[in-house]
Amino acid sequence: MPKIQVKKGSVFVDMTAMCDVSFLLLTFFILTAKAKPMEPVEVMTPSSIVEIPVPDVNVITIMVDKAGRIFMGMDNVDGARQRWLDNLNTQFKMNITAPNQVNNFINGGIIPVSVKELPTFLAAEAEAKKKMIETTKGIPADIENSDANELRWWIYNARAANQKAVVVVKGDKKAPYAIIKQVMKTLEKQGVSRFSLLTSQGSRD
């Protein structure tokens, strides 16, 4: 007796549910992601073959551009930038309390100006800020004159605001070595014996 062959039908998988879940996840990540603040100047770091990663959070960044200007920033873990601003306000009596100024400091990323310029910078519109960044001399760091070494107080108050933070120095490959040395000496005087020098990935050849 001949064997009865059952006709095979094509298998259909309904992908509607998976597409819905994918779009929901994508929407969630887009809405919850925080954009990284733009840096005031472009810094081209020197190449290195060292592969020790820099942490993503709890970081104090000291930036030196190719002109030798020093800028500084810190991420806002657990309200650290608000405490940093409060510390600077207390020491330098800047009276930065306007909501727009406070918000600009907390969400502004790298600070490119000195304490004297800070209130004006935080209150300025985008175009005015851009002009200030072009003309500012940055944060003073004269190690020969402690009264003129404002960087030490930025570092001191930042570390007081977040004691877990790691210090990272991001220097342009064309930055004057004397300025990088001033930054390192200032860190040493502030008791920071361990810090990272940020570089880009280089070749092993």
Q: What pLDDT is recorded for position 19?
A: 75
Statement: residue 69 has pLDDT above 70: yes
- Which residues 6+ apart lie within 8 Å of 98 measured at CB? 123
Q: Is residue 123 part of a domain?
A: yes
Q: What pLDDT is recorded for position 108?
A: 87
- Counting the structural domains of the chain, the total is 1
Pairing mode, strands 70-74 and 59-64 = antiparallel
Q: Is residue 152 part of a domain?
A: yes
Q: What is the pLDDT of residues 133-142, one digit of tens each?
A: 999 999 999 8
* Mean pLDDT, all residues of the chain: 85
Q: Is residue 191 part of a domain?
A: yes
Q: Is residue 41 part of a domain?
A: no
Q: What is the pLDDT of residues 112-125, one digit of tens each?
A: 999 999 999 999 99
Which stretches does DSSP call E strand in the chain? 47-48, 59-64, 70-74, 166-171, 196-197, 200-201
Q: What is the pLDDT of residues 82-129, one digit of tens each?
A: 999 999 999 999 999 999 999 999 998 899 999 999 999 999 999 999
Q: Is residue 21 part of a domain?
A: no
- Which residues 6+ apart lie within 8 Å of 74 measured at CB? 59, 60, 61, 80, 81, 84, 158, 161, 162, 165
pTM: 0.77
Q: Is residue 181 part of a domain?
A: yes
Q: Is residue 110 part of a domain?
A: yes
Q: Is residue 162 part of a domain?
A: yes
Domain span holding position 167? 47-201
Q: Give just the sign of the alpha carbon dihedral 153, 56, 54, 44.
A: negative
